[in-house]
Amino acid sequence: MESKGKYYIKTMGCQMNVADSERMAALLAEQGMEMASRPEDANVILLNGCTVREKAVHKALSALGEFHLLKKKTNRPLIGVGGCVGQLEKQKLFRNAPYLDFVFGTDTIDQLPEILHRVQNGEKHVVYADFDKSMDYSTETKVFGQKSQAYVNIMKGCDKYCTYCIVPYTRGKEKSRTIDEVVSDIARLVTSGVREVTLLGQNVNSFGKGNKNLRKREPKELHNIIGKVGPKEGDENFPQLLRALDADPRLTQLKRIRFTSSHPLDFSDELIDCYSPLTGVRKLAANLHLPVQSGSDRILEKMGRHHKIENYIAQMDRLREINPEVGISTDLIVGFPTETDSDFEATLALLDRVQYDNIYAFAYSSRPGTRAAKLEDDVPAKVKNERLNHILKYQLDIAEKRYATRLGKVMEILVEGEAKNQSLTMSVEKTQKLERVWTGRTTCNRVVNFVVPSPRDLMGRFISVKITGSTRLSLQGKLDTEYQEKSA
Ligand code: SAM
Ligand code: SF4
Ligand code: F3S
């Protein structure tokens, strides 16, 4: 196909935006455009921005400033802003950045070719940022290029409205795809070489709400220690989706299923059962990201999280009882309005109690339009930063101990590529010239750098690696002569 020009995409934010950027790239490739590796080479620049914290917005604006300079210098690229920034700010963006050509939102990505057509025909300040008003959500995943891993949106939006969070305003109301559609979509991805999927949603535990269950599926209802949770009886639900993916004969070549994110409020016993090595979902990775945000009940209440720490700990205990190998990670916010030293200590105590593999911690950032923005942002920036640094360091010690428990084990790795810096990883016993260091992830989502004795292409393969070392951030291993490549 004749090239219709080049595009460059700058992606910021979470996996949702990463998946959306991949969709944009696939759509533009279908139009005959090529990907540029530098903004300087592009006819069209897309900024897929994030608004979750003020810093993210500043980053987006500073990237835009650079693109503007480029446009002034070369009089060339068309510039569009999308993602959560485009959705939230809409035409307001043109006030501060009149040089922008178009703005699009999180629900209008598929209209990108149409938007580009209009802008390329001379229309100025084109805006496509309305939410899709239909009740259903139906789509087909688009991946760009040959991939062994794919993100698959199973739902969109969020109805939780945690008091600090802008996401419900940038992603709209919760809607789910049907189980049948997701299974067929993934079956198609598998035929194109995908071996691992990450199911995406802001809160996958409420997947299926409002989708009538057209087939008899187990489990029918969802419960946790608080009581009955999630979608109603007769609706589809997330554990049913996982079990359907595990059982479908078209998916025998799918090796791993991951998902993110979930909310403790409707994290169900039925989902915990999916982690059982005996009766659970065989393809489900031994990994869980369950954001808790704070270890203090008082702060959780102010955050509108509607659950108590005691219940969260009981959920984690039950999960570890069912499968001790599961690696658990979480999100935390420090410096939420009114957070005291003792609230913060309760969060540290939670880290000690749960023994996370990994945490993602953030300083609270007031977001205009959210309920928490009406509270006084009374924890000084200096204290927020001190708490943030302290908690990250605190977790590193816990992670070091957790990682060390994997020493000597043989683990299955999905290979992601050669390690970028071969010399940095010399500590992984790399002794001969022909040896290369590769990198991949375990089922519990740990990065493993491992030595391969001779040059060969392991990209996208599942292989067994013996863990020989650990640091606070990663594991090291060796692909020795006994290794067996897992049959696809
Ligand atoms: N849906 C997920 C959940 O319920 O946790 C993730 C939402 S958000 C994309 C990712 C993380 O950003 C949140 O878990 C929270 O820790 C953090 N976050 C959201 N709003 C924030 C704010 N106003 N200030 C600081 N961190 C924030
Ligand atoms: Fe934001 Fe809460 Fe929804 Fe997560 S569950 S996206 S933190 S409102
Ligand atoms: Fe994700 Fe940022 Fe939007 S975290 S959902 S890209 S506001």
pTM recorded for the entire structure: 0.94
Q: What residues are in contact with ligand 1 under a 6 Å CB criterion?
A: 14, 52-53, 164-165, 167, 202-203, 261, 263, 291, 293, 331, 333, 362, 364-365, 367
Residues 44, 41: Cα–Cα separation, whole Å? 9
For the segment 118-143, what is each residue's pLDDT rounded down to a tens digit? 999 999 999 999 999 888 999 999 99
- Count other C-beta atoms under 10 Å from residue 382's C-beta: 9
158 alpha carbon to ligand 2 midpoint, in Å?
Answer: 6
For the segment 61-83, what is each residue's pLDDT rounded down to a tens digit? 999 999 999 999 998 899 999 99
Tokens 């039925």 correspond to what residue?
A: 270
- Count other C-beta atoms under 10 Å from residue 120's C-beta: 14
CB within 8 Å of 223: residues ≥ 6 apart:
229, 268, 269, 270
Ordered DSSP codes for 241-309 = HHHHHHH-GGGTT--EEEEE---GGG--HHHHHTT-TTTS-TTB-SEEE---B-S-HHHHHHTT----H
pLDDT for 456 equals 79
2 falls in which pLDDT band (50, 70, 90)?
low
Angle between helices 112-120 and 15-30 (to 10 degrees): 60
Segment 384-402 shows an average pLDDT of: 95
The DSSP element (H or E) to which 352 belongs, if any, is helix 341-354
* Domains in the chain: ranges and CATH: 6-128 (3.40.50.12160), 146-285 (3.30.750.210), 410-479 (2.40.50)
User: 327 pLDDT exceeds 90?
Assistant: yes
E strand intervals along 160-239: 175-176, 196-200, 223-224, 227-228
User: 425 pLDDT exceeds 90?
Assistant: no
Percent of the chain's residues with pLDDT above 90: 77
Q: Which of 88, 263, 266, 301 to mutate to test the pocket of ligand 2 (most atoms within 8 A of CB)?
A: 263
Check if 167 has its Cβ closer than 6 Å to any atom of ligand 2: yes
488 falls in which pLDDT band (50, 70, 90)?
very low
Tokens of 380: 């000084």
Average of per-residue pLDDT values in the chain: 92
